[in-house]
Structure 1
Amino acid sequence: MYQAFEDTLKFSITLISILNPIGIIPIFLNLTKANSESQIIKIAHSCSLAVVITILVSLVAGQYVLEFFGISIASFTIGGGILLSSMAFSMIQATSSNAKINDDEIEQMQDLRELGIVPLAIPLLSGPGAISTSIIHAKAFATPLHWVGAILAVILIGILVRNVLAYSKRIGERLGTIGQNVMTRIMGIILLAISIEMIVGGVKEIIPILKGA
Protein backbone atom coordinates (compact mmCIF):
# COMPACT_ATOMS: atom_id res chain seq x y z
CA MET A 1 0.00 0.00 0.00
CA TYR A 2 2.84 2.40 0.86
CA GLN A 3 4.55 1.65 -2.47
CA ALA A 4 1.33 2.40 -4.34
CA PHE A 5 1.00 5.72 -2.52
CA GLU A 6 4.64 6.61 -3.20
CA ASP A 7 4.38 5.76 -6.92
CA THR A 8 1.12 7.69 -7.27
CA LEU A 9 2.54 10.71 -5.45
CA LYS A 10 5.62 10.74 -7.69
CA PHE A 11 3.42 10.48 -10.78
CA SER A 12 1.21 13.34 -9.52
CA ILE A 13 4.14 15.67 -8.78
CA THR A 14 5.69 14.96 -12.18
CA LEU A 15 2.40 15.55 -13.96
CA ILE A 16 1.69 18.83 -12.16
CA SER A 17 5.22 20.03 -12.96
CA ILE A 18 4.74 19.22 -16.65
CA LEU A 19 1.25 20.67 -16.96
CA ASN A 20 2.29 23.80 -15.06
CA PRO A 21 -1.16 25.47 -15.19
CA ILE A 22 0.25 28.63 -13.57
CA GLY A 23 2.70 29.03 -16.44
CA ILE A 24 -0.04 28.84 -19.05
CA ILE A 25 -2.04 31.72 -17.54
CA PRO A 26 -0.54 34.46 -19.79
CA ILE A 27 -1.30 32.43 -22.95
CA PHE A 28 -4.78 31.57 -21.69
CA LEU A 29 -5.57 35.21 -20.96
CA ASN A 30 -4.34 36.21 -24.42
CA LEU A 31 -6.41 33.55 -26.18
CA THR A 32 -9.57 34.37 -24.21
CA LYS A 33 -9.30 38.18 -24.06
CA ALA A 34 -12.37 38.52 -26.30
CA ASN A 35 -14.47 36.08 -24.27
CA SER A 36 -16.86 36.83 -21.42
CA GLU A 37 -16.37 35.43 -17.92
CA SER A 38 -19.01 32.73 -18.46
CA GLN A 39 -17.34 31.71 -21.74
CA ILE A 40 -13.94 31.56 -20.03
CA ILE A 41 -15.35 29.18 -17.42
CA LYS A 42 -16.76 26.95 -20.19
CA ILE A 43 -13.40 26.96 -21.99
CA ALA A 44 -11.64 26.08 -18.71
CA HIS A 45 -14.09 23.22 -18.15
CA SER A 46 -13.65 21.75 -21.64
CA CYS A 47 -9.87 22.13 -21.33
CA SER A 48 -9.64 20.28 -18.03
CA LEU A 49 -11.93 17.51 -19.30
CA ALA A 50 -9.78 17.07 -22.42
CA VAL A 51 -6.63 16.98 -20.26
CA VAL A 52 -8.07 14.26 -18.01
CA ILE A 53 -9.24 12.14 -20.95
CA THR A 54 -5.92 12.47 -22.80
CA ILE A 55 -3.87 11.45 -19.76
CA LEU A 56 -6.15 8.55 -18.81
CA VAL A 57 -6.05 7.18 -22.37
CA SER A 58 -2.25 7.46 -22.30
CA LEU A 59 -2.11 5.62 -18.98
CA VAL A 60 -4.32 2.76 -20.12
CA ALA A 61 -3.41 2.33 -23.79
CA GLY A 62 0.07 3.85 -24.03
CA GLN A 63 2.04 0.66 -23.41
CA TYR A 64 0.02 -1.25 -26.01
CA VAL A 65 0.92 1.42 -28.57
CA LEU A 66 4.61 1.02 -27.71
CA GLU A 67 4.37 -2.76 -28.06
CA PHE A 68 2.65 -2.35 -31.43
CA PHE A 69 5.58 -0.29 -32.73
CA GLY A 70 8.15 -2.53 -31.03
CA ILE A 71 9.47 0.20 -28.72
CA SER A 72 10.84 -0.89 -25.35
CA ILE A 73 9.72 0.99 -22.26
CA ALA A 74 13.40 1.59 -21.40
CA SER A 75 14.05 3.36 -24.70
CA PHE A 76 10.85 5.34 -24.32
CA THR A 77 11.84 6.29 -20.78
CA ILE A 78 15.16 7.71 -22.00
CA GLY A 79 13.45 9.57 -24.83
CA GLY A 80 10.79 10.89 -22.46
CA GLY A 81 13.46 11.98 -19.99
CA ILE A 82 15.34 13.91 -22.68
CA LEU A 83 12.08 15.58 -23.78
CA LEU A 84 11.23 16.54 -20.20
CA SER A 85 14.73 17.90 -19.61
CA SER A 86 14.39 20.23 -22.62
CA MET A 87 11.05 21.41 -21.28
CA ALA A 88 12.57 21.85 -17.81
CA PHE A 89 15.37 24.07 -19.15
CA SER A 90 12.78 26.24 -20.91
CA MET A 91 10.78 26.51 -17.68
CA ILE A 92 13.89 27.42 -15.66
CA GLN A 93 14.52 30.23 -18.14
CA ALA A 94 10.79 31.16 -17.93
CA THR A 95 10.36 30.77 -21.69
CA SER A 96 7.90 28.76 -23.75
CA SER A 97 8.96 25.28 -24.80
CA ASN A 98 8.68 24.46 -28.50
CA ALA A 99 8.09 20.85 -27.45
CA LYS A 100 4.58 21.99 -26.56
CA ILE A 101 3.71 24.68 -29.10
CA ASN A 102 5.38 27.60 -30.80
CA ASP A 103 4.22 31.16 -31.46
CA ASP A 104 3.26 30.50 -35.09
CA GLU A 105 0.99 27.63 -34.08
CA ILE A 106 -0.68 29.81 -31.44
CA GLU A 107 -1.42 32.49 -34.05
CA GLN A 108 -2.95 29.92 -36.40
CA MET A 109 -5.15 28.46 -33.67
CA GLN A 110 -6.57 31.66 -32.22
CA ASP A 111 -9.67 31.55 -34.44
CA LEU A 112 -10.70 28.04 -33.47
CA ARG A 113 -13.88 27.75 -31.45
CA GLU A 114 -12.83 24.91 -29.24
CA LEU A 115 -9.94 26.71 -27.57
CA GLY A 116 -10.38 24.51 -24.51
CA ILE A 117 -9.33 21.43 -26.49
CA VAL A 118 -6.97 22.88 -29.09
CA PRO A 119 -4.51 24.43 -28.37
CA LEU A 120 -5.02 24.68 -24.58
CA ALA A 121 -5.48 21.01 -23.63
CA ILE A 122 -3.56 19.64 -26.61
CA PRO A 123 -0.70 20.40 -26.94
CA LEU A 124 -0.16 23.20 -24.39
CA LEU A 125 -1.08 21.22 -21.26
CA SER A 126 -1.36 17.52 -22.06
CA GLY A 127 1.29 17.54 -24.76
CA PRO A 128 4.12 15.09 -25.50
CA GLY A 129 5.64 15.49 -22.03
CA ALA A 130 2.46 14.61 -20.15
CA ILE A 131 1.63 11.75 -22.50
CA SER A 132 5.10 10.18 -22.32
CA THR A 133 5.18 10.58 -18.53
CA SER A 134 1.82 8.81 -18.22
CA ILE A 135 2.99 5.90 -20.36
CA ILE A 136 6.26 5.53 -18.46
CA HIS A 137 4.70 5.63 -14.99
CA ALA A 138 1.94 3.20 -15.99
CA LYS A 139 4.56 0.45 -16.12
CA ALA A 140 5.03 0.75 -12.33
CA PHE A 141 1.29 0.48 -11.62
CA ALA A 142 1.18 -3.21 -10.67
CA THR A 143 -1.78 -3.27 -8.26
CA PRO A 144 -5.39 -2.05 -8.25
CA LEU A 145 -4.37 0.53 -5.62
CA HIS A 146 -1.90 1.99 -8.10
CA TRP A 147 -4.57 2.43 -10.73
CA VAL A 148 -7.21 3.78 -8.35
CA GLY A 149 -4.70 6.26 -6.96
CA ALA A 150 -3.50 7.30 -10.42
CA ILE A 151 -7.04 7.81 -11.76
CA LEU A 152 -8.02 9.85 -8.69
CA ALA A 153 -4.82 11.89 -9.02
CA VAL A 154 -5.55 12.68 -12.68
CA ILE A 155 -9.11 13.73 -11.85
CA LEU A 156 -7.92 15.98 -9.00
CA ILE A 157 -5.28 17.51 -11.25
CA GLY A 158 -7.99 18.11 -13.85
CA ILE A 159 -10.03 19.97 -11.23
CA LEU A 160 -6.94 22.00 -10.32
CA VAL A 161 -6.39 22.93 -13.97
CA ARG A 162 -10.04 23.90 -14.34
CA ASN A 163 -9.97 26.19 -11.30
CA VAL A 164 -6.65 27.80 -12.21
CA LEU A 165 -7.88 28.62 -15.71
CA ALA A 166 -11.35 29.69 -14.60
CA TYR A 167 -9.84 32.19 -12.16
CA SER A 168 -6.73 32.90 -14.25
CA LYS A 169 -7.32 36.65 -14.38
CA ARG A 170 -7.42 36.97 -10.58
CA ILE A 171 -4.50 34.59 -10.09
CA GLY A 172 -2.44 36.42 -12.71
CA GLU A 173 -3.12 39.77 -11.06
CA ARG A 174 -2.15 38.41 -7.62
CA LEU A 175 1.05 36.70 -8.75
CA GLY A 176 2.17 39.23 -11.33
CA THR A 177 4.74 38.43 -14.00
CA ILE A 178 7.54 37.90 -11.49
CA GLY A 179 5.44 35.54 -9.36
CA GLN A 180 4.44 33.47 -12.38
CA ASN A 181 8.05 33.23 -13.53
CA VAL A 182 9.22 32.16 -10.06
CA MET A 183 6.57 29.40 -9.91
CA THR A 184 7.52 28.25 -13.42
CA ARG A 185 11.22 28.10 -12.50
CA ILE A 186 10.53 26.08 -9.35
CA MET A 187 8.46 23.60 -11.36
CA GLY A 188 11.26 23.50 -13.94
CA ILE A 189 13.90 22.56 -11.36
CA ILE A 190 11.67 19.76 -10.03
CA LEU A 191 10.99 18.54 -13.56
CA LEU A 192 14.71 18.58 -14.44
CA ALA A 193 15.54 16.39 -11.43
CA ILE A 194 12.76 13.96 -12.37
CA SER A 195 13.90 13.84 -16.02
CA ILE A 196 17.46 12.96 -14.97
CA GLU A 197 16.13 10.10 -12.83
CA MET A 198 14.11 8.86 -15.80
CA ILE A 199 17.13 8.92 -18.13
CA VAL A 200 19.35 7.13 -15.60
CA GLY A 201 16.64 4.53 -14.93
CA GLY A 202 16.19 3.88 -18.65
CA VAL A 203 19.94 3.51 -19.23
CA LYS A 204 20.17 1.02 -16.34
CA GLU A 205 17.37 -1.05 -17.93
CA ILE A 206 19.19 -1.16 -21.27
CA ILE A 207 22.59 -1.83 -19.64
CA PRO A 208 21.76 -4.17 -16.69
CA ILE A 209 25.36 -4.17 -15.40
CA LEU A 210 24.84 -0.55 -14.33
CA LYS A 211 22.09 -1.57 -11.87
CA GLY A 212 24.74 -2.69 -9.43
CA ALA A 213 26.67 0.55 -9.73
Structure 2
Amino acid sequence: MKTAHMISFFVALLSVVNPIGALPMFMGLTKNLSKTQRKSMVRVCSIAVFVTLVISLFIGKKILSFFGISIGAFTVGGGILIFSMATSMINAKDVESKLTQDEMDDDSIREIGIVPLAIPLLAGPGAISTTIIYAQKLTSPIDWALSIPILFLAVLCIYIALINANTISEKVGQLGVNVTTRVMGLFLLAMSVEMITNGLASILPILKAQL
Protein backbone atom coordinates (compact mmCIF):
# COMPACT_ATOMS: atom_id res chain seq x y z
CA MET A 1 0.00 0.00 0.00
CA LYS A 2 1.43 3.36 -1.02
CA THR A 3 2.25 5.91 1.64
CA ALA A 4 -0.44 8.21 0.22
CA HIS A 5 -3.05 5.46 0.64
CA MET A 6 -1.92 4.80 4.21
CA ILE A 7 -2.19 8.47 5.13
CA SER A 8 -5.54 8.75 3.35
CA PHE A 9 -6.85 5.70 5.21
CA PHE A 10 -5.76 7.07 8.57
CA VAL A 11 -7.18 10.56 7.95
CA ALA A 12 -10.46 9.17 6.64
CA LEU A 13 -10.82 6.76 9.55
CA LEU A 14 -9.97 9.38 12.15
CA SER A 15 -12.37 11.84 10.54
CA VAL A 16 -15.20 9.31 10.57
CA VAL A 17 -14.77 8.19 14.18
CA ASN A 18 -14.28 11.87 15.16
CA PRO A 19 -13.20 11.36 18.80
CA ILE A 20 -13.30 15.11 19.54
CA GLY A 21 -16.87 15.34 18.34
CA ALA A 22 -17.78 12.37 20.55
CA LEU A 23 -16.58 14.10 23.72
CA PRO A 24 -19.92 15.74 24.64
CA MET A 25 -21.71 12.38 24.40
CA PHE A 26 -18.95 10.62 26.33
CA MET A 27 -19.03 13.17 29.13
CA GLY A 28 -22.78 12.89 29.31
CA LEU A 29 -22.60 9.11 29.63
CA THR A 30 -19.87 9.21 32.27
CA LYS A 31 -20.80 12.28 34.33
CA ASN A 32 -21.76 10.15 37.35
CA LEU A 33 -18.74 7.84 37.16
CA SER A 34 -15.53 8.00 39.16
CA LYS A 35 -12.16 8.56 37.52
CA THR A 36 -11.35 4.85 37.82
CA GLN A 37 -14.67 3.87 36.27
CA ARG A 38 -14.10 6.29 33.39
CA LYS A 39 -10.70 4.77 32.68
CA SER A 40 -12.26 1.31 32.68
CA MET A 41 -14.95 2.42 30.23
CA VAL A 42 -12.41 4.08 27.92
CA ARG A 43 -10.28 0.92 27.91
CA VAL A 44 -13.26 -1.32 27.09
CA CYS A 45 -14.45 1.12 24.42
CA SER A 46 -11.04 1.31 22.74
CA ILE A 47 -10.70 -2.46 22.61
CA ALA A 48 -14.21 -2.82 21.17
CA VAL A 49 -13.51 -0.24 18.45
CA PHE A 50 -10.22 -1.93 17.51
CA VAL A 51 -11.77 -5.41 17.33
CA THR A 52 -14.69 -4.11 15.24
CA LEU A 53 -12.40 -2.41 12.73
CA VAL A 54 -10.04 -5.40 12.48
CA ILE A 55 -12.97 -7.71 11.78
CA SER A 56 -14.25 -5.28 9.14
CA LEU A 57 -10.80 -5.11 7.56
CA PHE A 58 -10.21 -8.87 7.26
CA ILE A 59 -13.63 -10.40 6.68
CA GLY A 60 -15.73 -7.42 5.64
CA LYS A 61 -15.42 -8.39 1.96
CA LYS A 62 -16.50 -11.96 2.70
CA ILE A 63 -19.56 -10.68 4.52
CA LEU A 64 -20.45 -8.57 1.49
CA SER A 65 -19.97 -11.56 -0.81
CA PHE A 66 -22.25 -13.65 1.38
CA PHE A 67 -25.03 -11.11 0.85
CA GLY A 68 -24.25 -10.75 -2.87
CA ILE A 69 -23.03 -7.16 -2.65
CA SER A 70 -20.27 -6.06 -5.03
CA ILE A 71 -17.37 -3.92 -3.88
CA GLY A 72 -18.34 -1.25 -6.38
CA ALA A 73 -21.89 -1.04 -5.08
CA PHE A 74 -20.69 -1.00 -1.48
CA THR A 75 -18.16 1.72 -2.30
CA VAL A 76 -20.90 3.90 -3.76
CA GLY A 77 -23.19 3.19 -0.81
CA GLY A 78 -20.41 3.83 1.68
CA GLY A 79 -19.46 7.02 -0.13
CA ILE A 80 -23.04 8.27 0.01
CA LEU A 81 -23.23 7.43 3.72
CA ILE A 82 -19.96 9.25 4.44
CA PHE A 83 -21.10 12.16 2.26
CA SER A 84 -24.21 12.47 4.42
CA MET A 85 -22.13 12.35 7.60
CA ALA A 86 -19.71 14.94 6.20
CA THR A 87 -22.45 17.43 5.33
CA SER A 88 -23.97 17.00 8.79
CA MET A 89 -20.56 17.60 10.39
CA ILE A 90 -19.98 20.72 8.28
CA ASN A 91 -23.40 22.05 9.28
CA ALA A 92 -22.65 21.25 12.95
CA LYS A 93 -25.59 18.85 13.15
CA ASP A 94 -25.65 15.84 15.44
CA VAL A 95 -24.50 12.83 13.42
CA GLU A 96 -24.38 10.52 16.38
CA SER A 97 -26.86 7.74 17.03
CA LYS A 98 -29.65 8.64 19.38
CA LEU A 99 -29.62 6.86 22.72
CA THR A 100 -32.61 5.48 24.54
CA GLN A 101 -33.28 6.26 28.18
CA ASP A 102 -32.57 2.63 29.03
CA GLU A 103 -29.08 2.96 27.58
CA MET A 104 -28.50 6.16 29.50
CA ASP A 105 -29.58 4.49 32.76
CA ASP A 106 -27.59 1.30 32.24
CA ASP A 107 -25.38 0.60 35.27
CA SER A 108 -23.03 -1.74 33.42
CA ILE A 109 -19.84 0.16 32.54
CA ARG A 110 -18.68 -2.61 30.24
CA GLU A 111 -21.93 -2.67 28.29
CA ILE A 112 -22.04 1.12 27.89
CA GLY A 113 -18.38 1.12 26.83
CA ILE A 114 -19.24 -1.28 24.01
CA VAL A 115 -22.79 -0.14 23.19
CA PRO A 116 -23.45 2.68 22.46
CA LEU A 117 -20.03 4.29 23.00
CA ALA A 118 -17.87 2.03 20.81
CA ILE A 119 -20.70 0.83 18.57
CA PRO A 120 -22.27 2.76 16.89
CA LEU A 121 -20.98 6.11 18.23
CA LEU A 122 -17.32 5.62 17.22
CA ALA A 123 -17.07 2.40 15.17
CA GLY A 124 -20.32 3.04 13.36
CA PRO A 125 -21.41 2.35 9.76
CA GLY A 126 -19.14 5.09 8.44
CA ALA A 127 -15.98 3.69 10.06
CA ILE A 128 -16.87 0.13 9.06
CA SER A 129 -17.57 1.21 5.46
CA THR A 130 -14.31 3.16 5.27
CA THR A 131 -12.32 0.17 6.55
CA ILE A 132 -13.89 -2.31 4.12
CA ILE A 133 -13.43 0.03 1.15
CA TYR A 134 -9.79 0.76 1.89
CA ALA A 135 -9.12 -2.96 2.45
CA GLN A 136 -9.59 -3.44 -1.28
CA LYS A 137 -6.36 -1.49 -1.87
CA LEU A 138 -4.32 -4.02 0.13
CA THR A 139 -2.45 -6.21 -2.34
CA SER A 140 0.30 -7.92 -0.35
CA PRO A 141 0.95 -9.42 3.11
CA ILE A 142 3.02 -6.35 3.94
CA ASP A 143 0.06 -4.11 3.13
CA TRP A 144 -2.18 -6.13 5.45
CA ALA A 145 0.47 -6.05 8.18
CA LEU A 146 0.87 -2.26 7.87
CA SER A 147 -2.88 -1.73 8.07
CA ILE A 148 -2.99 -3.01 11.66
CA PRO A 149 -0.77 -0.20 13.04
CA ILE A 150 -2.97 2.31 11.20
CA LEU A 151 -6.04 0.96 12.97
CA PHE A 152 -4.15 0.88 16.25
CA LEU A 153 -3.01 4.49 15.82
CA ALA A 154 -6.57 5.62 15.12
CA VAL A 155 -7.82 3.79 18.22
CA LEU A 156 -4.95 5.27 20.24
CA CYS A 157 -6.17 8.74 19.25
CA ILE A 158 -9.63 7.76 20.50
CA TYR A 159 -8.18 6.53 23.78
CA ILE A 160 -6.14 9.71 24.33
CA ALA A 161 -9.11 11.94 23.50
CA LEU A 162 -11.53 10.13 25.81
CA ILE A 163 -9.11 9.69 28.71
CA ASN A 164 -8.46 13.45 28.61
CA ALA A 165 -12.07 14.41 27.86
CA ASN A 166 -12.42 16.92 30.70
CA THR A 167 -9.14 18.70 29.93
CA ILE A 168 -9.80 18.87 26.18
CA SER A 169 -13.36 20.14 26.63
CA GLU A 170 -12.22 22.85 29.05
CA LYS A 171 -9.44 24.04 26.74
CA VAL A 172 -11.10 23.94 23.34
CA GLY A 173 -14.68 24.59 24.48
CA GLN A 174 -17.76 23.90 22.41
CA LEU A 175 -16.56 26.28 19.69
CA GLY A 176 -13.32 24.32 19.34
CA VAL A 177 -15.23 21.05 19.12
CA ASN A 178 -17.47 22.51 16.40
CA VAL A 179 -14.53 23.87 14.40
CA THR A 180 -12.69 20.54 14.58
CA THR A 181 -15.82 18.68 13.52
CA ARG A 182 -16.30 21.00 10.51
CA VAL A 183 -12.68 20.61 9.38
CA MET A 184 -12.94 16.82 9.59
CA GLY A 185 -16.22 17.06 7.72
CA LEU A 186 -14.47 18.83 4.83
CA PHE A 187 -11.90 16.03 4.60
CA LEU A 188 -14.68 13.46 4.61
CA LEU A 189 -16.67 15.32 1.96
CA ALA A 190 -13.78 15.22 -0.51
CA MET A 191 -13.04 11.57 0.25
CA SER A 192 -16.69 10.57 -0.12
CA VAL A 193 -16.83 12.12 -3.60
CA GLU A 194 -13.74 10.12 -4.60
CA MET A 195 -15.30 6.92 -3.19
CA ILE A 196 -18.54 7.46 -5.12
CA THR A 197 -16.64 8.22 -8.34
CA ASN A 198 -14.44 5.12 -8.02
CA GLY A 199 -17.43 2.95 -7.16
CA LEU A 200 -19.41 4.15 -10.16
CA ALA A 201 -16.36 3.60 -12.37
CA SER A 202 -16.22 0.00 -11.13
CA ILE A 203 -19.91 -0.57 -11.82
CA LEU A 204 -20.01 1.29 -15.14
CA PRO A 205 -16.97 0.39 -17.32
CA ILE A 206 -17.78 3.18 -19.80
CA LEU A 207 -17.36 5.72 -16.99
CA LYS A 208 -14.05 4.11 -15.99
CA ALA A 209 -12.75 4.66 -19.51
CA GLN A 210 -13.41 8.38 -19.16
CA LEU A 211 -11.49 8.75 -15.84
User: Taking structure 2 as the reference length, what is the TM-score of the superposition?
Assistant: 0.95
Structure 1 vs Structure 2 CA RMSD: 1.1
CA contact (8 A) 1:44 1:163 kept: no
- Using the alignment, how far apart are the partners of 1:119 and 1:108 within structure 2? 11
Question: What letter corresponds to residue 105 of structure 2 in structure 1?
Answer: D
Deviation at 1:206, TM superposition (A): 0.8
- Using the alignment, how far apart are the partners of 2:7 and 2:63 within structure 1? 25
Aligned residue for 1:66? 64
Would the alpha carbon gap of residues 94 and 107 (structure 1) be closer, same or farther in structure 2, given more than 3 Å must change? farther
Q: After TM superposition, list the pairs within 5 Å mapping 1:49-198 onto structure 2.
A: 49-97=47-95, 100-102=96-98, 105-112=99-106, 113=108, 114-198=111-195
Deviates more, 1:55-64 or 1:149-158: 149-158
Specify which of 33, 36, 40 is matched with residue 34 of structure 2. Answer: 36
Would the alpha carbon gap of residues 23 and 106 (structure 1) be closer, same or farther in structure 2, given more than 3 Å must change? farther
Deviation at 1:69, TM superposition (A): 0.9
CA contact (8 A) 1:51 1:122 kept: yes
Aligned residue for 2:16? 18
Deviates more, 1:111-120 or 1:162-171: 111-120
Specify which of 2, 5, 15 is matched with residue 3 of structure 2. Answer: 5
Specify which of 189, 202, 205 is matched with residue 205 of structure 1. Answer: 202
Q: Which runs of 5+ in 1 are unaligned?
A: none
- Using the alignment, how far apart are the partners of 1:37 and 1:4 within structure 2? 41
Deviations 1:27-82 (A, max 9, x none): 10011000011111111111111000000000001000111111100000000000
Deviates more, 1:7-16 or 1:195-204: 7-16
CA contact (8 A) 1:28 1:120 kept: yes
CA contact (8 A) 1:8 1:146 kept: no
Q: Which runs of 5+ in 2 are unaligned?
A: none
- Using the alignment, how far apart are the partners of 2:205 and 2:105 within structure 1? 51
Deviation at 1:5, TM superposition (A): 2.3
- Using the alignment, how far apart are the partners of 1:172 and 1:145 within structure 2? 39
Number of residue pairs matched?
Answer: 207
